[in-house]
A and B are shown apart, each in its own frame.
Chain A
Amino acid sequence: MGSSEVIIEAKGLTKKFDDFTAVDHISFKVQKGECVGFLGPNGAGKTTTVRMIYCFLPPTGGELTVAGLSVQTQCREIKSIIGVAPQEDNLDPDFTTIKNLTVYARYFDIPKDEALKRADEQLKFFQLEEKREVPIMALSTGMKRRLIFARALLNQPQILLLDEPTTGLDPQARHLVWDEVRHLKKKQVTIILTTHYMDEAEVLCDRILIIDKGKIIEDGKPADLVKKHIGEDVLELDYDERLLPTLQEAFPDARIEKLSDRMQIFTDKPHGVFEGFLKEHPIQNVTIRKANVEDVFLKLTGRGLREE
């Protein structure tokens, strides 16, 4: 981030649906060129927040500005500089692949020739050239996701909103999407991405907002959050009650978490402490791994299942 120009700012942003508060007085800022990940369990309010940014849903309270424009009054200007790749498939099944792009470009007042040129460039990048004249129904889930991403880039947006862009993609297609996100980051495009894949957030995002029950419960760089909440390393081993006193003695400050037949030991001690411990206590079937964003996420939002 070269500049520190704020491009999206929310102050006390709230969205209520009848009695249910989906987004509850959240405040955040996104800098120009930043890639910010919204992480949260199902129903946390991620998609609702994204939908308010592109004026799909009007806020119930608070303020939200995008490029200095208010989502209450300047929607048309906001939407012209935003690209949206929604979670659900809303491609137009009445058209072919290429026609989906050119009709969509028309909504942005992009002239016909230019639209066709941009559409073909996108099809080429997302490896959909062979499907150019094919009806949408004949595309696989992964192809549809790629086409939705391609469609979001037609207006050459300054801000890109990606709502679960890689759900349902195979690893090849996932990396294609990641490459494109990195490429856009280099071009100073501001990106907000929601995802359930923590590795994706860790790899792509400069900053992460963890959202739960309509509130932002943590905000920071992925590495900083891992350090703050989890530490350096995690020791994973088979659950054995007899080992517990030994472990507690060796790591008095550690958090020990039991997961059915395995347990995890989280410590803020520097890298290498677990190796020392294992030398003294040889244990079978044990792993030392780096702490990651998923550990942070589960610690902060709990392991209980969320239903939408």
Chain B
Amino acid sequence: MSEPNLRKSPARFTIPKLTDRVWKVWRRNFDVFTKTIKVNFLPSLLEPILYLLAFGFGLGGFIPSIQGQSYIAFIAPALVAISVMNGSFFECTFASFVRMYFQKTFDAIVATPVSVEEVVAGELLWGATRATINTTIVLAVVAVFGLISSPLFLIVIPLAFFGGLMFASMAMCFTSVAPNIDFFNFPSFLFLTPMFFLCGTFFPLTSLPSAAQGVAMALPLTHVVNITRGLVSGHLEPILGLSPAVLILVSFAWIIAVTIFFFILSINLMKKRLTS
């Protein structure tokens, strides 16, 4: 036979063949989302308000200023970055797993001209969209609190999509190996929670030892925080000797490279899981 590769399990980094059918999968999730829109909006609206009240006004009252800004202004861009991460990560772990494992939605779709790769890519794009929606809500809250000082903040919305695609792709890798839904407690507590606290979110990275700063620079949330901090508050302090402008460029490049890597990897891993 002339197609020996197809007989073996797919390789890890085969570039997936995708068509515009990925949007039909995206559209399915969008249709469900609009049906339950009120329930979906509430958490993403309430969470940043609570953080700003508790940490910004509550705790912030004891902190005179941080890098020349009020504490509430310091954490506002971080809350935006965290919403990018949470929105997409939970969508492509718990929610995708439910669709794949319990609802067998993926099985139903792959019986149509839509391919497995397109189903997974559609899920990833939807995860990125959820991140964008959440981030837009958080940005609106932050704006209402008067915490936006740079007109560049609007760039955060398209950026949230790419940052969201990165976290969605990483999440999908966990989904591809998850034996059951409880498994997601591992990435939630061992990956998301440490990033939530340690990626320059609630205190400046520069207060960590330089080795720890290096570690933080290897974590995806740090790069999203760098960019939102630069674009929302306009205040970004140098990290590891990199100037703010260089730092933003490095973070952009980092996000693009890592997104491409995990986007391709997650599709291949999911294909392996779903076709064997």
A-to-B contact residues, CB < 8 Å: 17, 54-61, 63, 72-73, 75-76, 79-80, 82, 84, 86, 88-95, 99, 103-104, 106-109, 155
Asked if A86 and B7 make an inter-chain contact with CB atoms under 8 angstroms apart, the answer reads no
Chain A residue with the shortest CB-CB distance to B36: A94
How far, in Å, is B137 (CB) from chain A's closest CB?
A: 22
* Interface bits B1-24 vs A (CB < 8 Å: 1, else 0): 101001100000000000001001
B-side residues, CB < 8 A to A, are: 1, 3, 6-7, 21, 24, 27-28, 31-32, 35, 103-105, 107-115, 275-276
- Assembled-state Cα–Cα distance A91/B28 (Å): 13
Roughly how many angstroms separate A45 CA and B21 CA in the complex, as a whole number? 31
Are the CB atoms of B24 and A106 closer together than 8 Å? Answer: yes
Q: List 16 A-B contacts (CB under 8 A).
A: A54-B111, A58-B6, A72-B3, A72-B6, A73-B3, A79-B112, A86-B107, A88-B107, A89-B104, A92-B28, A92-B105, A94-B32, A94-B103, A104-B108, A107-B109, A155-B112
CB nearest neighbor in B for A88: B104
Q: Are B27 and A106 in contact (CB under 8 A)?
A: yes
Name the A residues within 8 Å of B275 (CB-CB).
56-58
> CA–CA, A60 to B6, complex, Å?
9
Contact B108 A58 (CB under 8 A): no
Q: Determine whether the beta carbon of A104 is less than 8 Å from that of B112.
A: yes
Give A17 to B276 CA distance when docked, in angstroms: 7
The reply to whether B24 and A75 form a contact with Cβ atoms under 8 Å apart is no
Q: Report the nearest A residue to B31, measured CB to CB.
A: A103
Q: How far is the CB of B116 from chain A (nearest CB, A)?
A: 9
Establish whether residues B32 and A90, one from each chain, have CB atoms under 8 Å apart when the complex forms: no
Given contacts A58-B7, A94-B35, contact A109 B107 (CB under 8 A): no
Extra A-B contacts (8), CB below 8 Å, given A58-B7, A88-B104, A106-B27: A57-B276, A58-B275, A72-B6, A79-B113, A89-B104, A90-B105, A103-B31, A107-B109
Is A109 a contact partner of B113 (Cβ separation < 8 A)?
yes
Pick the most buried of B27, B31, B35, B115: most chain A CB atoms within 10 A of its CB: B31
A75 partner, pick from B27, B31, B35, B115, beta carbons under 8 A: B115
Q: Tell me which residues across on chain B come within 8 A of A56, comparing CB atoms.
A: 107, 110-111, 275
Give the chain A neighbours of B113 by CB distance below 8 A.
Answer: 76, 79-80, 107-109
Q: B276 contacts which chain A residues (CB < 8 A)?
A: 17, 57
Which chain A residue has the least Cβ–Cβ distance from B276?
A: A17
Whether A90 lies near B103 (C-beta < 8 A) is yes
Distance to closest chain A CB from B30 (angstroms): 11
Give B107's nearest chain A residue, CB to CB: A90
Nearest 8 CB-CB pairs, A to B? Answer: A90-B104, A107-B112, A90-B108, A84-B111, A94-B32, A80-B113, A76-B113, A72-B6
Cβ distance A78 to chain B, nearest Cβ, rounded Å: 9
Question: Within the complex, what minimum Cβ distance (angstroms) separates A90 from chain B?
Answer: 4
Select from chain B the residue with minimum beta-carbon distance to A15: B276
A76 and B1 contacting across the interface, CB-CB below 8 Å: no
CA distance A79 to B119 in the complex (A): 15
A10 to B275, CA, bound (A): 20
Q: A residues within 8 A CB of B28?
A: 92, 103, 106
In this complex, the member of B24, B35, B113 whose beta carbon has the largest number of chain A beta carbons within 10 angstroms is B113
Residue of A nearest to B25 (CB): A107
List the A side residues contacting B104 at CB < 8 Å. Answer: 88-90
